[in-house]
Amino acid sequence: NDPVTATIEWASARLHEDLPVERLAAQALLSPRQFSRQFKARTGTSPHQWVLTQRTALAQRLLETTDDPVELVARGAGFATAAALRLRFQQALRTSPQAYRRTFRPPTAA
């Protein structure tokens, strides 16, 4: 049983929660430094960057599959505010959540 893999699975189900490296490390029963080192060796990225990437992907899925307002999508994906989600979308996807939804949301049947 690999503690990093188990923690990734655990965190994937809790992206809406606060997930600092200290909490992830505690879940893995490792020090934050040990956890970060093992996490990066396993995934190629830092725990913080992984969480941001996973939250962005979750927000994308929510925008594609729900009619929830951006504020609710942001909270559901673990972003503190809608502004934080908008900033992340600009940084990662070069678009806004609303524009993303317009582009990737399947048309609803009338």
pLDDT digits (tens, 9 = 90+) for 25-84: 999 999 999 999 999 999 999 999 999 999 999 999 999 999 999 999 999 999 999 999
pTM metric for this prediction: 0.92
In angstroms, rounded to a whole number, what is the distance separating the alpha carbons of residues 107 and 28? Answer: 42
In angstroms, rounded to a whole number, what is the distance separating the alpha carbons of residues 67 and 20? Answer: 29
